[in-house]
């Protein structure tokens, strides 16, 4: 699976870019749609942003949405209006305010999309080691545990929007170590994961420690196990 989508440098030093097989794409699209519908259904009950509830009583969620609405209406962040999280979080809420400026319905939509990406990434990680049935089950279980944990609170947390980026980065990590015959994880993969790390830094910078560990572990593995200091340093 990983060989189908991750660019790599082969043993001859030639750069090769492998495209996803059409059958894998056709298989993944309905799975993602199922996860999207599942996420909307699960969060209809498990987040206070849901139209099932009259209000979202959590202070942070209201602060984020206020920042997003102000941003959508032309206010300058950290000058005209201030809250301590990163600008990408407010951009997400600004987009949510374009769906509904007077309710949390737009936030509910954004949360559902975020959870569906998390579920899909969990599915792809599991699919590296398990069959389709168990992969779907494990990703559904991951979602249930996430939204029922104490730290989830009323929903609409900064961590909630960082989770799909973390899970996607974890997929690249697991996929590489599933196929260690490759000489390199590939520059495109590093670029994508670095982009994810940047996004997280723009949401809540205290969460980017995972990406430092991600890069350090692969560099040390390349240096020590594959004895390639030059590539590890780069």
Residues in the chain: 234
Dist. CA 199–CA 179, nearest whole Å: 27
The sign one gets for the Cα dihedral 29, 30, 36, 42 is: negative
> pLDDT tens for residues 1-31?
444 444 443 444 334 434 544 566 778 899 9
> In this predicted structure, what is the pLDDT of residue 11?
42
Tokens of 177: 């170590």
- What is the pTM (predicted TM-score) of this model? 0.85
The answer to whether 94 and 66 have CB atoms below 8 angstroms apart is no
| Summary count for the chain: helices (H), strands (E) | 10, 2
> pLDDT tens for residues 109-142?
999 999 999 999 999 999 999 999 999 999 999 9
> In this predicted structure, what is the pLDDT of residue 146?
93
> In this predicted structure, what is the pLDDT of residue 232?
52
Which segments in the chain show pLDDT lower than 70?
Answer: 1-24, 180-184, 225-234
């Amino acid at each position: 699976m990983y060989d189908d989508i991750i660019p790599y440098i082969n043993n001859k030093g030639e750069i090769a870019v492998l495209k996803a097989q059409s059958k894998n794409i056709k298989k993944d699209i309905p799975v993602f749609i199922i996860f999207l519908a599942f996420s909307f259904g699960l969060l209809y009950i498990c987040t206070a942003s849901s139209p099932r509830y009259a209000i979202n009583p959590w202070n942070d969620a209201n602060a984020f949405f206020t920042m997003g609405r102000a941003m959508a209406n032309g206010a300058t962040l950290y000058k005209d209006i201030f809250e301590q999280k990163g600008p990408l979080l407010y951009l997400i809420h600004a987009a949510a305010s374009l769906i509904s400026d007077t309710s949390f319905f737009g936030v509910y939509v954004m949360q559902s999309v975020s959870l569906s990406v998390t579920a899909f990434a969990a599915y792809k990680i599991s699919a590296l080691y398990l069959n389709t049935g168990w992969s779907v089950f494990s990703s559904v279980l991951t979602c249930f545990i996430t939204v029922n944990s104490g730290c989830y609170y009323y929903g609409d947390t900064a961590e909630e929007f960082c989770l799909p980026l973390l899970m996607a980065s974890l997929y690249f990590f697991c996929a590489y170590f599933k196929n260690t015959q490759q000489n390199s994880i590939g520059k495109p993969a590093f670029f994508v994961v670095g982009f994810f790390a940047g996004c997280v830094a723009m949401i809540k910078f205290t969460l980017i420690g995972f990406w430092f560990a991600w890069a350090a572990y692969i560099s040390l593995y390349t240096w020590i196990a594959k004895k390639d200091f030059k590539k590890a340093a780069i």
